[in-house]
Structure 1
Amino acid sequence: MAHNRVLNSISDFFGDIGRARNASSIYSELSHLSDGALKARGLTREGIASHAFNKAFPSK
């Protein structure tokens, strides 16, 4: 049982790394858009970080 918990923790850790990279990619893509393009997507420049995090980590 302890062995499974360790493996699950390691798997979760690497999964979080992948999701963090995805959040970074989303943030980078959106940060290059104009304010008008962001508005068309229902976003503000101030909301980019939280939007990227919520897209990459939907359950957190």
Structure 2
Amino acid sequence: MNIIRDTSGQTSAELILLLAGVFIIVLLFMNIYQEYITSMGAEIKNNELNNLLDKIDDINNHIK
């Protein structure tokens, strides 16, 4: 009955299950906070664009 006591693959199987659990948690987190993350990205882009436009306006004002 060595098959019952053989635990040579147990560690790798436990590691695979642990990684799968972490992966599922990350997917759930991303699904729940998807709208927040996408809106935050748009807000960052808008802020960067506004800063760039302000700097261009400042340069135009200095040139005139």
What TM-score does the superposition give when structure 2 sets the normalisation length?
Answer: 0.47
Larger Rg: 2
User: Does 1 or 2 have the higher relative contact order (CA < 8 Å, sep 6+)?
Assistant: 1
Structure with the largest fraction of helix? 2
